[in-house]
Structure formats: C-alpha cells, structure tokens
Amino acid sequence: MNTLLLGDNENDINKAGEILRNGGLVGIPTETVYGLAANALDGKAVEKIFRAKGRPMDNPLIVHIADIGDIEKFSLVSEFPEKAKLLAEKFWSGPLTMIMPKGRAIPDEVSAGLNTVAIRFPEHKTAQAVIRAAGVPLAAPSANLSGSPSPTTAHHVISDLNGRIDAVLDGGECRVGLESTVITLACDTPRILRPGGITVEQIESVIGKIDIDDAVLHQLKSGEKAASPGMKYKHYSPKARVVIVKGESYTDFVNRNCDKKVAALCYNEDVEKLSVRAFPLGDRADINSHAHTLFDKLRQIDNENIDLVYARCPDTDGVGMAVYNRLIRAAGFEVIDLEKV
Ligand code: TXA
Ligand code: MG
C-alpha cells in the first residue's frame, strides 16, 4: 500500500477524516505522541491497527474524542464516575486517559475483551479537527511498530509504518513527547497504570489520594498479572543494551567503562565531562525537555553503531516519574547504583 503524506491544512484534515470514515488507518499528531487512528466503532477497522503495528490482540486501545459530550453521544461508557467527571473538567483536553466501565458501542477489538474502556480527549488542535472530520471517536495506540519507541514526529511514523497504513498527517513535533497518563476509575480507589504528562500530584489535588500500580516503577514478578496489559510487554526497546546508572559519580563511571561502542544518555551539563558519544536530554533541571526528547534520542541511538548505553537515572518527581517509567523499560530494569557498588 502507498502511504499518503498529509499536511495539517483543512483539505488534508478532511481527507484524513474520509479515510478514517471508510475504515482506513491514519497516523495523527497529538500533544503526547503520534497515534495510529481508526474508527473506534468499527471492529474490522480497529483490527487493522493490530496487524499494522504487530501488536498483540490482548492489548486494548485508547478511544479518542473531541468533546466531553462524545462519551454520552456515542455510548462509550456504561458509567461515568463522579471522580472521572472532576478530572475531565480539570485536565481535558490534555494528556490524561481515563479507564471506565465500557459502553455498548465499544467493539471487543478495542477493549481486548475487558469490560472497561480507556478514553482520552487530546488537546492537540489538529487531533481534535481530525476526530471531528471523521465524525466518530478514534481508537489510537502510539503509531510505532510494537516494541520500538513511540513516535514524536511524522518522520518517526513513516520510518516504522511506511507502506503499512493509508496516510500520515504531519502536525510537527509532539509537545509532551511521552504518552498520556493512564488512570483507572473502574475500581474503588483510582489507580495510575501509566505515568505521563499529568502528574500524580496534579491528580491528587483534585480527587485526593490515589494508588500507583506496582508495575509503574517495578518489574512484575513472574506470574503476576498486569492491570494494564501493555505493561507486561517489553517496551521501548532499543537495539543497544541500556543500563541506568544512579549516583553523582555518573560521568566518572561512564569514562572508566567506555569503549568505542558505548554512548551516554545524559544531561547537557555532562557532555563536556564525558569521553564517549553523548545524547543529552536537556538541562538537568528541565524535566519537560527530558520527556520531550527521550524517544527521539532512543531512535537516534538505534541508528548508530552503539552496543551499550549508560543512562542517567531520572528523579521520579512530577513528570520525572513518566521519564523513569519509560527508561526503566528500555533498560529491561537493569540499574547500577553507584552508591551501592
Ligand atoms: O498518549 C497516548 O496515550 C497515546 C496517544 C496516541 O493518544 N496513545 C497510546 O496508546 O499511548 P498505547 O496503545 O500505546 O497505550 C495504551 C495503554 C496500553 O498500555 C494499554 O494496555 C492501556 O493503555 N489500556 C488501554 N485500555 C485499557 C483498559 N481498558 N484497561 C487497562 N489498560 C488499558
Ligand atoms: Mg504504545
């Protein structure tokens, strides 16, 4: 199939809407990462997403809307919990996905057979315009091949999915750069399943104490069941081995353990102290920049002849929790704590 490259003008947005209405797949920009969209109410269209990405069929998709009213209009949930309404009022549109009891319109392909559904109202104006042009809610996972870093530019989408999808709409770089926060409200105490651009602190300021799923910061023990199916898969897995290095003597450690094929995923301040290839994520204190650039740096590293990456260990406050969650998966949970060796 020939993948059409679209721009974010009105004509092309309408073209994307038409492709989606007719059961096709379009890569679309959002404020988090690019999504691979299909009509969420059409099981056959949604099934194509799994084939294009090579995604396991038991991993459910997020349904994207362009108005809070779409939830009722399209019967997307069977219950809209009070706390979900409070969070919607405060953080939608924005990088927050809420899991609720699923409504009758949701095909099994979207929910992967679960009795819940994930809903998100993206803030990106072009994403909203495409949803409106399609006239239906859009199911969309990240628009990468399963297992590679999520795409934050249209170029990333093309390099993974060219020839496998109908079109990509180029809306520039994604602002946040990491996927949305996922929280489930289909249980007594709301629980974070995936950290993202909306932080635990922000959510607790609206609905009080919430839980953080064990799988967010720790490796699941063998046989343990993931609350969010996506968390059981090895994710964001670069070709090189990634090791997280914790401790203030990071640059000394890297310089002592380097050879030609070692790289450092580090902060701007580290670069001049390092004797290996450096891929800086931004200034040390600028956590938003770390989130914004992480996936692009992992892709750059993939394109180089690098065997081993020593990554700075992020702090887990605020958006840092999301950066840590992605990086620890890229590292297959391999951490060296310099204070303990
Ligand atoms: O920012 C984002 O959320 C991006 C953009 C495109 O919106 N989308 C995205 O989708 O990251 P995806 O499919 O790559 O990640 C969705 C995560 C997966 O880990 C999946 O298992 C989980 O959400 N999920 C979806 N529906 C669920 C449900 N009903 N219960 C538990 N987890 C669910
Ligand atoms: Mg994904």
State in Å: Cα 309 to ligand 1 middle. Answer: 27
Model confidence at 7, pLDDT cuts 50, 70, 90, reads very high
Q: Is the pLDDT of residue 337 over 80?
A: yes
**What confidence tier does 234 reach under pLDDT thresholds 50, 70, 90?**
low
Q: Is the CB of 323 under 6 A from ligand 1?
A: no
Q: Say whether pLDDT at 217 is over 90.
A: no
Expressed in angstroms and rounded, the spacing between residue 37 Cα and the centre of ligand 1 is 13
- Lowest mean pLDDT: which of 192-196, 200-204, 331-335? 331-335
The CA distance from 109 to 166, in Å, is 20
Task: Name the pLDDT band for 231 (thresholds 50, 70, 90).
Answer: low
Ligand 1 centroid to 100 CA: how many Å?
Answer: 13
Tens digit of each residue's pLDDT (9 = 90 or more) over 111-126: 999 999 999 999 999 9
> Given this model, what pLDDT does residue 224 score?
74
Q: What is the pLDDT of residue 306?
A: 94
- Measured in angstroms, how far is the CA atom of residue 270 from the centroid of ligand 2? 30
Atom of ligand 1 nearest to the CA of 35: 6
pTM for the model stands at 0.95
Ligand nearest to the CA of 35: 1
Residue 76 has pLDDT above 90, yes or no: yes
Is 148 a pocket residue for ligand 1 (Cβ < 6 Å)? no
Q: What confidence category does residue 158 fall into, taking pLDDT thresholds of 50, 70 and 90?
A: very high
Distance 253 CA to ligand 2 centre (A): 32
Backbone angles phi, psi at 34, to 5 degrees: -70, 140
Mutational test site, ligand 1, from 109, 179, 185, 191, max ligand atoms within 8 Å of CB:
179
Res. 1: pLDDT tops 70: yes
Share of the chain above pLDDT 70, in %: 98
Residue 229 pLDDT > 80, yes or no?
Answer: no
Percent of the chain with pLDDT over 90: 87
Task: Kindly state if the Cβ of 61 falls inside 6 Å of ligand 1.
Answer: yes
Quick: pLDDT tens for 314-323. 888 889 999 9
The per-residue pLDDT of the chain, averaged, comes to: 94
Token pair recorded at residue 16 = 């994307």
Of the candidate ranges 91-100, 156-165, 253-262, 306-315, the one whose mean pLDDT is the lowest: 253-262
pLDDT for residue 34:
98
Average pLDDT over residues 178-199: 96
Going from the C-alpha of 46 to that of each of 41, 65, 74, 77, the distances in angstroms are: 8, 16, 16, 18
pLDDT bracket for residue 235 (50, 70, 90): low
